[in-house]
Structure 1
Amino acid sequence: MAKLDPKGGTIAVRCRRRLFLTTAIVALACAGPRPACAQSVTGNNVSPGSVQTPNWSVGSDLFIGTGGNGTLVIQDGGTVTNDTGLIGNGPSEQGEVTVSGHDGSGNASTWTNNGDLVVGQSGTGTLFIENGGVVSNTGAYIGADTGSQGDVTVSGRDVNGHASTWTSTGQVYIGDNGTGALNINDGGLVNSALALIGNSSGGTGTVTVSGHDGNGNASSWNNTNQVYIGADGSGTLLIEDGGVVNSGQGLIGYGSGSEGTVTVSGRDVNGNASTWNAANNIYVGFSDNGTLTVSDGAAVATSRAGGGAASIYIGHMNGGTGTVNVSSSTGDVSSLTATDRIDVGRDGTGTMTVGKGGFVSVGSDVRIANGSTGSGTLHLDGDASGRGVLETGSVIKGAGPTAILDLNGGILRATRDEANFLNGFGTLTVGAGGAWFDTNAHDIAISTYFSGTSSFNKLGLGQLTLTGDSSAFTGASTVSAGTLAVNGVLGGNTLVDTAGRLVGTGSVGNVVNTGVVAPGYGNAMGTLTVQGNYVSTGGHVEIATVLGGDSSPTSRLVVNGTTSGTTQVGIINRGGLGGQTVEGIKIVEVDGASNGSFLLVGNYVFHGEQAVTAGAYAYRLYQGGVSTPTDGDWYLRSALLETGNPSLPLYQPGVPVYEAYGANLQSLNTLPTLQQRVGNRNWAPGADPVGNGIWGRTEGTHGHFNDAAASTTGLDQSIDAWRIQVGADRVLADPDKGGRLVAGVNAFYGEADSQIRSVFGDGAVKSDGYGLGATLTWYGLDGFYVDSQAQVIRYDSDLTSAYLGRLSRDNGGHGEAFSIEAGKRMSVGNNLGVTPQFQMVYSNVHFDRFTDPSDAVVSADGNDSLKTRWGVALDHQRAWEGGRSHIYGIANVSYEWLNGIRTLVSGTAIINASERLWAELGLGASIIWREELALYSEVSGNSPFHDFGDSYYLKGSVGLRLQF
């Protein structure tokens, strides 16, 4: 008897001792359903003697059907042990063995072959293993010699759920040189080390694994190592109705002249898939013809121990022809999984078809015609009723002479980011079913030139980039989801669906936009050209631009044909700081009839129109240029007026607030006069009120500033402020030396609230300030005085816009102020006196740099003031027992020497400067009791000489001083 050695191909011959059972029935059985089996064996024409009972141990080979027909039945827990078992040994002999059931204690009927088991050596052999029976051996042959026929059926389980089991610790040959069949049904179980189906050139083998036991236990074949389907002969493996095969490497059509077929189909009634799990590579058409069919919800997968990857090779060696079909007609998805790669035509000829209901998953790549002699064809088929799916990292065209990728309705799905997804395919003609690409949340690129008249479809999240010239494609393209980037040419018509985006720097044909069209690629700006007509049905256009002047870099949509419909336009500013435009930034160019409407989606609405902000400026969208108003193109312009003088810029709504911010801080940063701070301390000669003491005062102001000498935004500002201040004074110098020198310290807190109105937008500023001050005053005995002050202050401010909402919260700032004042009271009789006086105040404020909600960077740049005041006061003093009074009126003229407040908004200077020359009138009084307690107050109002009364500043203060 010859057999194939898979490792080396050597031939081995074996001689056996023989025990003949001819024309006999040998039975080991229980007579009936009793608690313990009383086994007996009966028969005749048995050699070497009578059968032993209850267990039969044969010390030699056992032949069933030698010289005629033989039958062996092992049931109800009976056991047989021998060396090699042979069923149907001779050419005209027939043998049949049944191993079935168990005894009353659950012990299975068992046939143990210490050597090989041959079913159909030269004759006909049949083996049934059922109802939990168990058979074991080393190697096994089913249909061993030429002309032999062997059949093995392993089916069912016993009442305790134990599977009918056949275990071969060596190689199993199904159709060695003859015809062999192995059927595993109804939950049966077969274990083997290595299997060859259709081993020799004349051998024909078939294995069928089908069904389950009714309790969900699948019929199973566990083969540890290789399984050859058509080793050198003809082999067939059928896995159906939920059957399961677990094997090592799978080789279909292994040797020259072989034919191998594997069909894995269907599911069981519980929905469990018929499955082949190969713990190594699968070869379909290794050296000759091989076919693998996965259908109607079945599953085939490769893997390696420890999580390693395994591949599928279709048409592996030169001369090998492999065919793989994956599809389903039942609605259940059929799957083929290669954890590494699939080669379609490695060095042979390979064809893989993924049809409707088929799903193929590849861990790395699909290679077509990979070797120098390989020819491969990959069909991706489908239609509206169902589409095949191939999931892969890429598809690579190899070095072979013929590599065909047939895109005909099936879906090609990406599993990773890939810059060359169809590697090596220079041109492809799209089939009638169309090309369907699912980027599956990945970014892939294709340089292939497509042609055809059907359809091109982009599915899934992620981006598909086309760089080739596909002007020869004249069909319909649809961007259903994710992004299609056209950096080359795509002919035909393109529909951008609601969940789709069309981007790129290339050109497309006619476009219907219900999603998003965004010229440019990645973070780079660019021009996307529509060579035909553009129609929007609720679509959007996104334009990336550097918002600045007319020459700003920008993306652009160019339409060679006509436009229609309404398009929402969103602007993405690429770091533009804003700028003043004349013609504007052209973002849409229309060569034909410009009948479509492009509506800006902005940050806010200015006078009923959407506007978008950049730095200090705001932009609106206009059709037609300033010098070419009928050109039909669309421009972003930062112009205040639609027509007329384009040099009047449109500032964003926050700018008036930023312009007014410094003035609000300055309202808290001012220093009072000596009279306002501590009341009258300069009495008629003879009085001596100057001494140590403490004091407190509060003041409130209201200012309205209109038609400033310089205002970038032409704002009106109203400021309401109040301040409370407390201090202590100490006399440092003796009056006998000609006067007194008084030093003081003070602390204060205040708030200022501004309301701003401007054509560009209204807003408000609220500032809190707190700080410390120091004073040094010289009082001469002749009525002359010199007063100096210094203070530092810290600010926290909130800025808001009526359009943009909160601009900044708790923005920090600080200020310093210094003052020098001098005057001399001169008596003019009748308790009257005149005091000419002069004061110079320097004030500086600064706030922390911040970024507003429009990404404009706002910073202070020169918020200081140097103001001089010339004044004269006329007072009346009166004394009585225990007290004195001082009533006065004052007139002042003040002048601002510096240039006002300057704020930078993303580099654009925003200026605010009040009139320089102001006039002021005030009234005040001081009352002192018992030379210790003084109450003092003053009210005043001032206004600029220019347009007197349009702007004004009202102030009132009251203080209390205690001397000790």
Structure 2
Amino acid sequence: MKTYQQKQAPVKGQIAPPPLFKITSLAVAAAFCVPQQAHAACSGSSTVSCTGSLSGSLSYGSGTSEIDLVNANLSGTVTWNNPTGPSVITISGSTLSTNTGQAFSVNNANGALSMSLDAASQITSPNSGSGAVSLTTSTSNTGDILLNSAASVSGKGGLLTWNNGSGSITMSNSGSVVSNNQSGLGATTAAGGSISITNASGGQTQASNGNAIDTHSNGASGDTVIVNNGSAISTGNASGINSTSNGGNIAIQNNGQVVAGGTAITASNTGAGNITINSSGTINQAGTAAAAIGVNSNGGQVGIDTRAGSVNGSIFVTANNGGVQATVGNIASNSNAVVVTYTGSNANAGGVSLNTAAGTDISTSFAGIAVTSQGNNGGISVTTNGTIGGAQAVRNGVIGSITASGNNANVQMQLNNTVNAVRTAIAGSTAGNGNVAIVSQAALSSQQGHGISASSAGGNVSVTANGAVTGVTAIRGSSASGNVALTANANTTGTGAVALSGNQLSGAALQVANAVQATVDNYASATTQSVSVAAVDVNAGSAIVNNHAGALLAGAGDFAVNGRNGNVTVNNDGTITGYVTLQGSGNTFNNNSSHSLDLRNYVAGVQNVAVAQINGVFNNNADGVLRVLAVNAPQSVNNAGAWQTGGSQLPGNGVVQGQLTGVSNFNNSGTITLQSADIGAAQAVAGKLLVITGGQTAGASGGGTYTSNGGQLRLDAVLNQGGAASLNDMLVVDRTAVGSGGATRVSVNNVGGLGGYTGNGPSDGIELIKVLDAGYSAANAFSLAAPLGAGAFQYSLRQADGQNWYLQTTDLVPLAKIQAMLPVALSQYGLDTLGTLWQRVGSRRYQPQQQEEAGRPAAWVRAGGHRGYTEGSIAGNGFSYASSYQLNDDFIEIGADHRLWQSGKGSWIGSLFGSHGNGSMKLQNGADGRADLSSNSLGLAATWYGNNGYYLDMLGKWSRIGTRLAATGVNGSPDGHSALFSLETGYQRAISRDWSVVPQLQLVWQDNRLDGYTDSNGVKQQADNDRNLMGRLGVAMRYAKPEAEGRGFNGYVKADLLHSFQNSGLVTFSGTPLAFQSSRNSMELGVGGNWSNAKRTVDTYVELNYRHALGGNAGYTAGGMLGARYHW
């Protein structure tokens, strides 16, 4: 026979179709001949049946319609040329082997061709030819090829079919196919016929340097379906499954195993047909550089679903117009895991939609997912439900990029599981005017790049992070002509300042690199690890930064917010720690949080001045707290930019300085605090400073206005005499005004001050608030939040010079007032409970005829009370403050009299008595304080009653005194004792039968001593004693009713002048000597009487009196006494 020649050379990468034969006259003759060698084991001409052992080669022509090899053993080849009509081949239990060509070949068939090989058959053709089995049809053929094999097949090629006509190819393999240098299962259609290949669950297809399953649909139509339920293995650089089409659809279903040294599954469609690849099995790219799945689509849809399987190797997709729908599962790759390159050139371009399945992971040292849309149409949508970089960090996590400026489609990314990347974790971008939207639900991490990067040339950008994000820049958004919105519902951390590319700023937790309008919402913790970048970095025409309740903005370098240009509004409902720099103009900072804006600038162990640049309005609203945080034990201090004024200190350990610059208006309805207890200081330190100015430099007025709308200012101060000795926190402002909320209430915490008199001049005292512009200092901008005292002194906040605000001592603290006036009150209390002789025992009858009666033994009891008011002044070294008190007292006294001696001139009567009294001293004129007094006393008296009307009364009394002092926020209980001596004399001279005049003189000396005590605030007060001599000069007009029937009555009116020989009562309170000066002279009027029963055994007596102070200080006392005396 003549040698056959091929019509065309094979295409590289594909299995060449068998040759279309040039039929010579010899070949035509051979086609109608019987086999060249006749063998007894084969029979029939139309239907050829062979069995048994055969040798040589078998050749058949068009006259044969069926060939059956049953239990045959052929060492040679079978060739069937030009069959016509339906052709059937059955190989059962047979063995075919050859070393010279195809073991079984059908050439140029015209009609349907069916071939069946059972599992007991074996075909071997190792050395030459295009396959162990080769089936081809003619170009005019309209019939189909059907090949079912369960046999063991091996050869240079496996089971190869070519339908050169319009028919289809259907192949099924459940046996073993091994090929060398060519395909294992191969099917090629030339004119639109469909291809269907099934590698059954028991089927094993293995190719060396060839495709294990290889299909080519070369017509303009004709679909290809490949189902692999077994194994398709290719070594070398070929594919496990390779399918090409010029227009028909390609559908590949892998439920088994695909292994290849080259791309494991390759699908290419140069026409408009779709490509679908589904895998629930294993796809393993065993080489070092190729993909597990490679798809090239010119215009049809691409669908990939590997969620139920596993992929070892990359997935590469190149598509045009038709769109890509992909869902992937577990992928392990030593290259980029999923790469989709899409070019949409028409309006119907479908774009790319890529998903990863839950419970899966993409593991590679390169990119996890990279999607690029290069044409003018077609967007990108990526949803990850599985992890990326779970086993090892990927180089880049998910990258979605539209590169054509004319493409206005959107980029959407939904990250529902973790991404762990070395460089960028998530990046979405478009060079067009489309929008970019990224939502993350789980943790995203980048070691050297962005956690999330989203950018659009002209559209809007939206990023929402519901899981933690970590990156050199955690979240970055940019749009040159659109808006950017960043929302962090979980923690974001910028880990450093590494230059990524170009002028992309990095290191921030939340960065807007460019935008027309920007919104940043932080609901969690946004922090940085770099000392040189801000936690929030915004570059936009206008921007709003919302730090929500419970959220934190803080940086390693205390750089919290950086507004690069435009106008920025910061709404702080959480905590901002550090400083802000708003470089544009027209900015607004709304501080609404009780968790505060905490000013601080502490970097790498160095304490610096905390300067916050506002360049606009600062509203410290009703719940807002502005603190200047303390730095405890800094390694070093940098005082550059610090400003020092009287009372303040330069920054140091516990001493801080904060500056708000460029503030055109500071509206305060909230709290500003420098108090150590509020700012985290290890101990209370005074001398801190807060400057609020409209300028850019502290110390010079920038024309800004501090507007008081209520609110609080909390400061530490050493409360002393002020002036050069001042050491205190201070607020410095340019100008002040008062809004509808009224004055700012100033609370001052005393840091160890003992108090001191400041003076009341225009620059005296402790300067707390400095107003730089003299003509713009509102008179009612500040007031004390509560009474303020230290030591003996009460401080008031005064605009002493009409400009600045000073603490000046304008009074004494209530407790000091009480203690200063207590000696005088105790003296009054002693006089009230002492009384005169007549008040003590009544106006006895001591005429000579009544001497016996007057000297009889007696017991008596009396009770009385007084209500009085005393005013005066408490003076010290250089100061004097008006003070007053009300004293109410009552007492009861019991005594006994006994005659000691009697003569013709008169009698000495001795008395022994005891008393108990209570008093209440209350400060007046708005002062809040009181002293409760109690006393228990014992006394002795000796009284001379002369028969000539003269009497002399000598008395001594000792009392134990108890006191309880109470004022606002403090109390104490100094106890003590009192010694009292009284000398009284008088002379009764009758001026008529019933009336007599009695001049009287009395001297009373008192020594009142109070012990030292420690008050409830822990302050020790020293003991005090006071001595006083009081004189009384008076006259009484006495009326005695004539006695009749054994009964008597006498009454009197009196007038007294009282004089205190001591100028004042002197005490020492908290180291400050204080003297209370009240009126030394007073006048007293009284009326009283005595009644005796008929038996003269019971006397009752009563007196009412009123005492009024004389001189410049008012005072009065009204009192009364009632007594009874029984004698026997």
- TM-score, normalized by length of structure 1? 0.63
**2:514 corresponds to which residue?**
408
Matches within 5 A, 1:616-627: 616-621=794-799
CA distance in 2, matches of 1:733, 1:116: 141
**1:31 corresponds to which residue?**
none
**1:166 corresponds to which residue?**
280
Deviation at 1:357, TM superposition (A): 1.0
Q: Which moved more, 1:837-846 or 1:515-524?
A: 515-524
> Is contact 1:250-1:280 (8 Å) kept?
yes
Measured at CA, do residues 809 and 253 of structure 1 come closer, stay the same or move farther in structure 2, by a change above 3 Å? Answer: closer
Measured at CA, do residues 434 and 362 of structure 1 come closer, stay the same or move farther in structure 2, by a change above 3 Å? Answer: farther
**1:47 corresponds to which residue?**
149
Matched, 1:196 2:346: no
Matched, 1:788 2:953: no
CA distance in 2, matches of 1:880, 1:399: 124
Measured at CA, do residues 912 and 326 of structure 1 come closer, stay the same or move farther in structure 2, by a change above 3 Å? Answer: farther
| Aligned pair partner of 2:531 in 423, 436, 442 | 423
Measured at CA, do residues 323 and 706 of structure 1 come closer, stay the same or move farther in structure 2, by a change above 3 Å? Answer: closer
- 1:207-244: CA deviation from partner (whole Å, max 9, x where unpaired): x9999xxxxxxx97653xx6449448956899959875
CA distance in 2, matches of 1:236, 1:689: 133
| Aligned pair partner of 1:583 in 759, 762, 767 | 762
Measured at CA, do residues 90 and 564 of structure 1 come closer, stay the same or move farther in structure 2, by a change above 3 Å? Answer: same
**2:486 corresponds to which residue?**
388
| Aligned pair partner of 1:721 in 857, 865, 888 | 888
> Is contact 1:638-1:651 (8 Å) kept?
no
**1:600 corresponds to which residue?**
781
Matches within 5 A, 1:521-920: 524-531=688-695, 533-536=702-705, 538=707, 544=715, 546=717, 549-551=722-724, 552=726, 553=728, 555-557=730-732, 559=734, 571-573=746-748, 575=750, 577=755, 579-584=758-763, 585=767, 587-590=769-772, 594=775, 597=778, 599-603=780-784, 616-621=794-799, 634-637=803-806, 650-651=810-811, 662=822, 668=829, 670=831, 671-673=833-835, 675=837, 678-680=840-842, 684=846, 685-687=851-853, 691=857, 693=859, 695-703=861-869, 705=871, 715=882, 717=884, 719=886, 721-723=888-890, 725-729=891-895, 742-751=911-920, 756-757=924-925, 762-763=926-927, 768-778=932-942, 785-794=953-962, 807=968, 816-823=977-984, 837-843=1002-1008, 862=1024, 864=1026, 866-870=1028-1032, 885=1049, 887=1051, 889=1054, 891=1056, 893-897=1058-1062, 899-900=1064-1065, 904=1069, 911-920=1075-1084
CA distance in 1, matches of 2:1085, 2:494: 87
> Is contact 2:1082-2:1107 (8 Å) kept?
yes
Q: Which moved more, 1:420-429 or 1:891-900?
A: 420-429
Measured at CA, do residues 98 and 818 of structure 1 come closer, stay the same or move farther in structure 2, by a change above 3 Å? Answer: farther
Deviation at 1:936, TM superposition (A): 1.8
> Is contact 2:535-2:554 (8 Å) kept?
no
> Is contact 2:965-2:972 (8 Å) kept?
yes
CA distance in 1, matches of 2:434, 2:1016: 62
Report the structure number with the largest CA radius of gyration: 2
Deviation at 1:90, TM superposition (A): 3.2
Measured at CA, do residues 935 and 858 of structure 1 come closer, stay the same or move farther in structure 2, by a change above 3 Å? Answer: farther
| Aligned pair partner of 2:427 in 302, 307, 324 | 324
Matched, 1:956 2:1058: no
CA distance in 2, matches of 1:24, 1:858: 117
* SS, match of residue 82 in structure 1: coil
CA distance in 2, matches of 1:943, 1:477: 69
Matched, 1:66 2:239: no
Letter in 2 for 1:47: S
* SS, match of residue 689 in structure 2: coil
Measured at CA, do residues 434 and 953 of structure 1 come closer, stay the same or move farther in structure 2, by a change above 3 Å? Answer: same
**1:13 corresponds to which residue?**
none
Letter in 2 for 1:496: F
| Aligned pair partner of 1:291 in 364, 388, 399 | 399
* SS, match of residue 837 in structure 2: helix
- 1:287-311: CA deviation from partner (whole Å, max 9, x where unpaired): xx973579866432665xxxxxx74
Matched, 1:358 2:487: no
CA distance in 2, matches of 1:667, 1:171: 110
Letter in 2 for 1:82: G
> Is contact 2:982-2:1004 (8 Å) kept?
yes
Deviation at 1:531, TM superposition (A): 2.8
Deviation at 1:957, TM superposition (A): 1.9
Matched, 1:251 2:369: no
Matched, 1:938 2:1092: no
> Is contact 1:509-1:530 (8 Å) kept?
yes
CA distance in 1, matches of 2:788, 2:913: 53
- 1:417-462: CA deviation from partner (whole Å, max 9, x where unpaired): 97x7642469999745478766644454456998965456644343
> Is contact 2:185-2:205 (8 Å) kept?
no
**1:105 corresponds to which residue?**
none
Q: Percent identity?
A: 9
Deviation at 1:507, TM superposition (A): 7.1
Matched, 1:176 2:291: yes
Deviation at 1:621, TM superposition (A): 2.6
Matched, 1:479 2:479: no
Deviation at 1:598, TM superposition (A): 6.4
CA distance in 2, matches of 1:565, 1:726: 59
CA distance in 2, matches of 1:704, 1:941: 14
Deviation at 1:405, TM superposition (A): 0.7
> Is contact 1:655-1:713 (8 Å) kept?
no
Deviation at 1:771, TM superposition (A): 4.5
**2:639 corresponds to which residue?**
none
* SS, match of residue 461 in structure 2: coil
Measured at CA, do residues 861 and 812 of structure 1 come closer, stay the same or move farther in structure 2, by a change above 3 Å? Answer: closer
* SS, match of residue 687 in structure 1: helix
Deviation at 1:324, TM superposition (A): 2.0
Matched, 1:335 2:437: no
* SS, match of residue 472 in structure 2: strand
| Aligned pair partner of 1:280 in 390, 394, 404 | 390
CA distance in 2, matches of 1:880, 1:169: 142
Measured at CA, do residues 539 and 279 of structure 1 come closer, stay the same or move farther in structure 2, by a change above 3 Å? Answer: farther
Matched, 1:494 2:616: yes
Matched, 1:121 2:250: no
Measured at CA, do residues 459 and 733 of structure 1 come closer, stay the same or move farther in structure 2, by a change above 3 Å? Answer: same
> Is contact 2:259-2:285 (8 Å) kept?
yes
| Aligned pair partner of 1:513 in 626, 641, 666 | 666
Matched, 1:91 2:214: yes
- 1:32-87: CA deviation from partner (whole Å, max 9, x where unpaired): xxxxxxxxxxx9743339xxxxxx9979799999344775899xxxxx85375899
How many equivalent residue pairs?
800
- 1:800-854: CA deviation from partner (whole Å, max 9, x where unpaired): xxxxxxx4698766564332234467776789777754432334568987799xx
CA distance in 1, matches of 2:1110, 2:1117: 13
CA RMSD of aligned residues (A): 6.5
* SS, match of residue 123 in structure 1: strand
CA distance in 2, matches of 1:957, 1:186: 114
CA distance in 2, matches of 1:438, 1:282: 36
CA distance in 1, matches of 2:568, 2:479: 14
- TM-score, normalized by length of structure 2? 0.55
CA distance in 2, matches of 1:844, 1:617: 30
CA distance in 2, matches of 1:620, 1:25: 113
Structure 2 gaps of 5+ residues are: 1-94, 96-103, 105-112, 118-144, 152-171, 188-193, 218-223, 245-249, 270-274, 343-350, 403-409, 507-512, 602-608, 629-656, 680-685, 697-701
* SS, match of residue 853 in structure 2: coil
Measured at CA, do residues 534 and 735 of structure 1 come closer, stay the same or move farther in structure 2, by a change above 3 Å? Answer: same
CA distance in 1, matches of 2:716, 2:1079: 40
* SS, match of residue 291 in structure 2: coil
Measured at CA, do residues 595 and 360 of structure 1 come closer, stay the same or move farther in structure 2, by a change above 3 Å? Answer: same
CA distance in 1, matches of 2:788, 2:301: 74
Measured at CA, do residues 650 and 121 of structure 1 come closer, stay the same or move farther in structure 2, by a change above 3 Å? Answer: same
Measured at CA, do residues 463 and 597 of structure 1 come closer, stay the same or move farther in structure 2, by a change above 3 Å? Answer: same
Q: Which has the higher contact order (CA 8 A, sep 6+)?
A: 1
Measured at CA, do residues 882 and 623 of structure 1 come closer, stay the same or move farther in structure 2, by a change above 3 Å? Answer: same
* SS, match of residue 582 in structure 1: coil
